[in-house]
Structure 1
Amino acid sequence: MKGFIFFGLIAGPFYLPQNTGQDSLRTKEIASITFLKRLPVTKEIINVEKDLGSKNIGQDLPILLKNQMSVISTSDAGNGVGYTGFRIRGVGGTAINVMLNGVPYNDSESQGTFFVNVGDLTSSASQIVIQRGVGTSSNGVSAFGASVNVLTKSPEEKFYIKSDDSYGSFNTYKYSAEVGSGKFWKDRLSVMGRYTKIHSDGYIERAFSDLDSYHLSALFEAYKTKIRLLAFGGKEKTYQAWNAIDKQMWENHPKFNNSGAIYDENWENIVDFYDNETDNYRQNHYQLLWEQNLKNHWKLETTFHYTKGKGYYENYKQDAKFSKYNLPILMIDNQQIKRTDFIRKKWLDNDFYGGVSTLYGTYENLDLNFGLVGNQYKGKHFGNVSGVYFPEIFEHEYYRNNGTKSEFSGFAKAIIKINKLELYGDMQLRNINYDTEIIQQGDNEGVELIKNWLFFNPKMGLNYKINSGKLFLSYAHAHREPNRDDLFANPEIQPEKLHDFEAGLEKSIGSVSFTTNLYYMNYKNQLVLNGQINDIGEFIRLNSGKSYRMGIEVGALAKLSDQWNISGNFTLSKNENKEFKNETATGFESLGNTPISFSPEVMGNVLLNYSPNSKLNLGLQNQYVGSQFLDNTNNENLKLNDYFLTDFTAQYRLNLKRTQVDFKVLVNNILNKKYVINGFVYDKNPFYFSQAGTNYLFGLTVKFH
């Protein structure tokens, strides 16, 4: 086994080829992808149907991406359904710029990415573009670890009806129906629609997920015009699983979940669990994408967007003070009642809207790209409580605060070709205004502040073409504003600054292709996770002063024969805070150079694929992740052990008359490894998010065309 692992670690990201045989699945390259391919940045362009199709049978998008270069995926419920996320180069989701068709998806205030709100997003996607490091200027907040752009698919050219269903461990199931009209009205118009229902009981106790999602798309195509109208989104209800468990509980009862626990009078024993300790949220996205070919090799892409989100999370609050919720003391039978049990709901009602416009032009050996972005976010935060034993206390609002965040930014890019050399320049200017106000004070929620940031982010680089490949070198300077929680914890917290240096090689030799990338990311005031979480499971961050991430990323793909392919990737890195100062009860103590939290020094993936014929594909995906710390204090007791996982996929395609049937099997963690991928620190002790042992999903896809 060790020899096999070592052999595989010399390889890079591999995607299973599948012959779809359908006109509708042809990838139509858009201008942004064409331009991106020429840039001297580290990137992966994933074809969703070919590269992720065999695994897309119920789990969330972050889990499906776990074998990509430098990616670690997390799951609160332990089985990849519900609240999931990822880190790239050790950088968490709040520092990864996620976009849907170039529209920012990160929540403007928290900067988080909550894929649970758009269940089965993978089924709506055609391509996923991952840029590691700062990358090129894009829309939304600056990337400090990576940017991920999910490009949704267009309606197909021919009529079809598709059913996509699966069932597996922990009562996990997915029902999905999709229909496409094909082209009509003189081949100018086509529409499609999808609805998906996903449920899972979760590996963790009571950590169920109920996810409903939809995707509607209409495409109009004329001579030089393409207009796409999209409506997509979802509704989720998940039982909370963000509390984690201590080390002893993980060793003896790893599935235990204390969310919703109700204790006896002495707070010693759990007597029951509240059955609606849940997170509830609905999110709807509306996008109008307009592509217009202009004269003299110019093209304009403009997107107007609006996102509506509203929801709450609910908790049972036992023996809480009336005063905590801005309630007067009750008098019953001449007796003062100061404490009781409450049902608490914390709400978020938000709107996000704006426009994104990008102009592409070509003139002889010069390629130009100009972009303008204008977005505004309005978030209403409020909470209410109901009395468990006192019906007269019902939906009492005890706090309310609002936040408004506006951004206007622009960028200009150019590529100049001089023989084998391509020079690249990129300038971005971002102006951000953030204004919050407290309408009603309560529960230490909200703060009054007005913030303005103006960031100039220059980038430059070069490509040098060689036989069957290229060498590239790039530099990028980036800034990033703190998020809402950062500012509430410390209104004087500083924005992050980053100098990112990248150098790489892309090369193909016969049936072998590989990439190598060196990076050095030098930070000032990097906001790093301190290992602690707040009351809704979000990680708390602090400025670490000076810090850096440096490493090498290597990937390769080798076609061994007509039936066998092997690929893989590995990352070796060093991630350190310089002269880290740890906050204690008496002040700050200097710990010298310490490892940055959640940043393993070694990550690697090995993927082996066997296709004996055009109908059958078998695959093994192996992942190794080195040890990592839960905080920045270099405390060995707060370290997560390394782990090695193996997953198995199988897909068999049966082509009948006008019908295509796919049988799919996914077995995760076939070696039944007990491991921890995520956690936090509480009272100087580690707390773990347990992950499932061996688990499976069976899928059946039927498509009539």
Structure 2
Amino acid sequence: MMKSFATLALVAMSSLAVGQQQLRVEVLNEQKQPLRNASVNVRKTQLFSQQTDTQGIAVFSRLPNGKYAITASFLGYIAKDTVIQLQPDSYIQLQLSPTTIRTEEVLVNATRAKNNASTTFKNLDRQTIEKSNLGQDIPYLLDQTPSIIIGSDAGNGIGYTNMTIRGSNNERINVTLDGIPLNDAESMGSFFVNLPDFASSVDNIQIQRGIGTSTNGAGAFGASLNIQTQALNEKPYAELNNAYGSYNSWKNTLKAGTGLIDGRYAFNARLSRIASDGYVNRASSDLKSFYVDGGIYGKKQTLKATLFSGKEKTYQAWYGTPEPLVKGDRSKLADYAVNAFGFDESSSEYSRLMNADRTYNYYTYDNQTDNYTQTHARLHYNNFISDVLNFSVALHYTRGAGYYEEYRPQDNFSKYGMDELTIGGETISSSDLIRRRWLDNHFYGTTYALNYTPSTNLKFTFGGAYNEYKGDHYGEVIWARYASNSELGDKYYFNDAKKTDFSVYGKMDYTLNKWLFNLDLQYRNVNYKTAGNDDKIKNIDLSDNLNFFNPKFGMTYLISSQSNAYLSYAYANKEPIRKDYVENPLSEFPRPERMQNIEGGYRYSSSNVNIGANLYAMLYKDQLIPTGAINDVGGTIRQNVPDSYRVGLELDAAWNITSQFTWRATAAFSENKIKNFTEYVDVYDNWDFVETKEIKYDKTDIALSASTILSNEFAYRPLENLEFSLRSKYVSRLFLDNTSSNDRSIDPFTVTNFGTKYSISAFGLKNIDILLQINNIFNAKYETSGYTWGSMDTSGNRSYYNFYYPQATTNYMLGLNLRF
């Protein structure tokens, strides 16, 4: 039903794509040569954007009569503004003159998909980001893009958040900030909790689904996020942004910038704080950050330095909530209490669980928290050597350090290298204690790119990166009821790790008549070593040296100035992450993943209708898939499977029905399968282990990969400065493990959010924004992630325990933004 509705709706939208009136904008340089891929913005009550074609022309159709503001811009040229009174089939020519280089555009240019590229991508501009930026993490700003599922440990999007795109989680999503890798070198995850309120310093985001173009850092096996920080403000400004909402959630942001000083210098700064008690009990967050940049902007060269840092303290909610509390079947709760948690029926913890609800948190120790500080320093240099040649290079250094603290009842001394005690004739071999597990790391390196455009039909890009990571993992006991022979500061385990990552790529874009051809070749070498003792495994001494060749090529056919069709093929490799080596459930050395990615699609863009449709096939060799279990810090345990795939159809459309009413929708239908999968289940006779049983599946669903994801947004703008929006999201069933069992799955859900924004100028302020966001207005009780584990008895009866991460019921955030 929902599939048919979405398909018919998008077909109906496409039938309205042909316009009756057109505005043609031609953009030229001083020599009256066309500027291809120049940006043209047309605004009345809404903003319409396009890029010029090979003739320097952008066409906007079906615009109603009226007065329009038009802006044309191109890298290295002065943007030109004009206002026209639109008449049928209007034409205007804008001629741009060279100016100061805008370095922010250069920072992401080499790794971004261009307007007509044979890559499946989505761009989010600053206006879209600002409408939802009320303290929730960056994944929540992407919620209305195709194939994405978001969630958070605390349930309300503040603190630790997670996302999957095409079923791939953040360990498989490449993230760059101004072209510099953000993914942690060992876990491959991007932890936005370490960069609270970074969205307030973001200008735009490009989401490339699939392998995408060659980029820097970790391989993209589900998607890549290319984030560009705030662009140059030529005029001084100051902003004070505040928000308050449910669960005692606060966001306070102070921003200021000097504008251009003497036409050459500019500085920006931001100070932020976000705090929340969380929807889940005690899942609180206390997040602080700052951002500072300064730049020298010349006509041929630019130099920009950036320093930003985040400090987070979050209460742990990694254990999740047991299924009986989430689904309301409390008849199973006693079994969970005794056999999943190990609670004694007379204990206070047993009683607390039996009286809990879906916001239950296993942890109760006051300082059961994660504490981490991460600071980034970057230096970007760009040189426009000539009109056809430019060069950029960046140096970066990231310092991270922190720990999570936990209370451990009756842990054995032997685990911590402590001797047994004898007190009053009694031998004591265990103690209640508090421990901290530390990460202390450094990440540094360089990225570079050379762009050569000998003609309007040909462009070459050469680039790459070299990065090094050095990290220490160690644990300390900071308190024990019986301390034995331990001393404060002793490390009960310690291991160090080093990873080097070298890559180089070459790209070519060639236009022949209506055809655009893309060739993209990358070589990457990864070397990972670690030695010492881990918390779980002693005497780790491993080394893995991997060489990858990642070719990509595609072609786009320009049907018209408003539409094109594309087809691409990409092959990529991705290395295992640390826990694949240390916590492999099959006790085998993990193999790198390999994937072939085929993308084919159609795009149509006019002033009132935008449609994108694409088919994809992601064919894996040795994919590292989640088993359904997690480790003791909430990370998914993974294993290699020889043969698996993800294939699907994605639709992304927007229709400006009138100048006041807009409808946007996305749909993703997919099949995510493992071929010839073997499940390993431990068999017990009472409490005695008997064997590990193998269960074979010819074809089964990949865990946590939805077959259907739909989103819908209605936006109504009764006044130019007032907008209301209603956004909904539907996600089909998610299986917790790889057995396609409904008994171990997350039920389908639909969640709907309401938002409004009102902007005025008053009291001498440049702008006042009042924002209200009411999330989950229909009070749906839903979950977006979870895990499972279990065993089997000798009679073949299976027992399992499911845990979920419940998301917040109806909640709100109210914001007030002041711009001076």
TM-score normalised by the chain length of structure 1? 0.94
Which residue, 506, 515, 528 being the options, matches 1:421? 515
Q: What one-letter code is carried by the residue in structure 1 that aligns with 2:678?
A: K
Deviation at 1:587, TM superposition (A): 4.5
Q: What one-letter code is carried by the residue in structure 2 that aligns with 1:224?
A: K
Which residue, 461, 467, 485 being the options, matches 1:375? 467
Q: Secondary structure at the match of 1:580?
A: strand
What corresponds to 2:540 in structure 1? 447
- Give matches, 1:267-282, under 5 Å: 269=349, 273-282=364-373
What corresponds to 2:804 in structure 1? 688
What corresponds to 2:430 in structure 1? 339
Q: Deviations over 1:408-433 (max 9, x none)?
A: 11000101111111111111000111
Which residue, 228, 231, 234 being the options, matches 2:307? 231
* RMSD value, Cα: 2.7
- Give matches, 1:461-472, under 5 Å: 461-467=554-560, 468-472=562-566
Deviation at 1:266, TM superposition (A): 6.8
- Give matches, 1:423-438, under 5 Å: 423-438=517-532
State the distance in 2 between where 1:284 and 1:136 align: 28
In structure 2, the CA distance between the partners of 1:374 and 1:253, relative to structure 1 (3 Å rule), is farther
State the distance in 1 between where 2:395 and 2:694 align: 48
Structure 1: runs of 5+ lacking an equivalent: none
What corresponds to 1:66 in structure 2? 143
Which residue, 696, 708, 724 being the options, matches 1:590? 696
8 Å Cα contact 1:325-1:443 kept in structure 2: no
- Give matches, 1:395-544, under 5 Å: 395-438=489-532, 440=533, 443-444=536-537, 447-467=540-560, 468-488=562-582, 489=584, 490=587, 492-508=589-605, 511-544=608-641
**1:618 and 2:710 matched:** no
Q: What one-letter code is carried by the residue in structure 2 that aligns with 1:366?
A: L
8 Å Cα contact 1:8-1:566 kept in structure 2: no
8 Å Cα contact 1:277-1:316 kept in structure 2: yes
Which residue, 115, 122, 140 being the options, matches 1:44? 122
Q: Secondary structure at the match of 2:214?
A: coil
State the distance in 1 between where 2:389 and 2:166 align: 36
**1:32 and 2:93 matched:** no
Which residue, 389, 394, 406 being the options, matches 1:315? 406
In structure 2, the CA distance between the partners of 1:563 and 1:328, relative to structure 1 (3 Å rule), is same
In structure 2, the CA distance between the partners of 1:265 and 1:319, relative to structure 1 (3 Å rule), is farther
State the distance in 2 between where 1:515 and 1:343 align: 54
Q: What one-letter code is carried by the residue in structure 2 that aligns with 1:547?
A: S
State the distance in 2 between where 1:8 and 1:195 align: 44
Q: What one-letter code is carried by the residue in structure 1 that aligns with 2:302?
A: K
Q: Secondary structure at the match of 1:537?
A: coil
State the distance in 2 between where 1:634 and 1:58 align: 36
State the distance in 2 between where 1:246 and 1:671 align: 24
What corresponds to 1:697 in structure 2? 813
Q: Secondary structure at the match of 1:63?
A: helix
Q: Deviations over 1:266-325 (max 9, x none)?
A: 767358921000000000011111111012511111111000000000110001111111
Q: What one-letter code is carried by the residue in structure 1 that aligns with 2:702?
A: I
Which residue, 169, 178, 187 being the options, matches 1:110? 187
Deviation at 1:504, TM superposition (A): 0.7
**1:142 and 2:222 matched:** no
Q: What one-letter code is carried by the residue in structure 2 that aligns with 1:605?
A: S
State the distance in 2 between where 1:677 and 1:446 align: 37
Q: Deviations over 1:580-601 (max 9, x none)?
A: 1112332532111001111111
TM-score normalised by the chain length of structure 2? 0.81
655-664 vs 72-81, greater mean Cα deviation: 655-664
681-690 vs 597-606, greater mean Cα deviation: 681-690
Deviation at 1:154, TM superposition (A): 3.4
Which residue, 280, 285, 297 being the options, matches 1:204? 280
8 Å Cα contact 2:235-2:260 kept in structure 1: yes
In structure 2, the CA distance between the partners of 1:589 and 1:693, relative to structure 1 (3 Å rule), is same
- Give matches, 1:156-167, under 5 Å: 156-167=233-244
**1:221 and 2:297 matched:** yes
Q: Deviations over 1:429-455 (max 9, x none)?
A: 0011111110x5654367210110000
In structure 2, the CA distance between the partners of 1:521 and 1:533, relative to structure 1 (3 Å rule), is same
Which residue, 258, 261, 264 being the options, matches 1:188? 264
Deviation at 1:651, TM superposition (A): 0.5
Q: Secondary structure at the match of 1:53?
A: helix
Q: Deviations over 1:370-412 (max 9, x none)?
A: 0121000001000011334246753431000010000111000
Q: Secondary structure at the match of 2:294?
A: strand
Which residue, 478, 495, 508 being the options, matches 1:386? 478
Matched length: 694
503-512 vs 241-250, greater mean Cα deviation: 503-512
Q: Secondary structure at the match of 2:719?
A: coil
Q: What one-letter code is carried by the residue in structure 1 that aligns with 2:284?
A: F
**1:654 and 2:760 matched:** yes
State the distance in 2 between where 1:445 and 1:62 align: 36
Q: Deviations over 1:178-228 (max 9, x none)?
A: 1111111x2111101111110000000000000001110112101111111
8 Å Cα contact 1:82-1:238 kept in structure 2: yes
Structure 2: runs of 5+ lacking an equivalent: 15-42, 49-68, 74-78, 80-101, 353-362, 683-691, 791-799
8 Å Cα contact 1:234-1:282 kept in structure 2: yes
Q: Secondary structure at the match of 1:591?
A: strand
Deviation at 1:156, TM superposition (A): 1.8
Q: Deviations over 1:672-697 (max 9, x none)?
A: 01111110012232211111110000
8 Å Cα contact 2:46-2:659 kept in structure 1: no
In structure 2, the CA distance between the partners of 1:373 and 1:231, relative to structure 1 (3 Å rule), is same
Percent of pairs with identical residues: 36
State the distance in 2 between where 1:156 and 1:334 align: 75
8 Å Cα contact 1:680-1:687 kept in structure 2: yes
Deviation at 1:174, TM superposition (A): 0.8
State the distance in 2 between where 1:419 and 1:264 align: 76
State the distance in 2 between where 1:485 and 1:441 align: 11
Which residue, 646, 649, 656 being the options, matches 1:549? 646
Q: What one-letter code is carried by the residue in structure 2 that aligns with 1:581?
A: T
Which residue, 737, 754, 773 being the options, matches 1:666? 773
In structure 2, the CA distance between the partners of 1:33 and 1:378, relative to structure 1 (3 Å rule), is closer
Q: Secondary structure at the match of 2:288?
A: strand
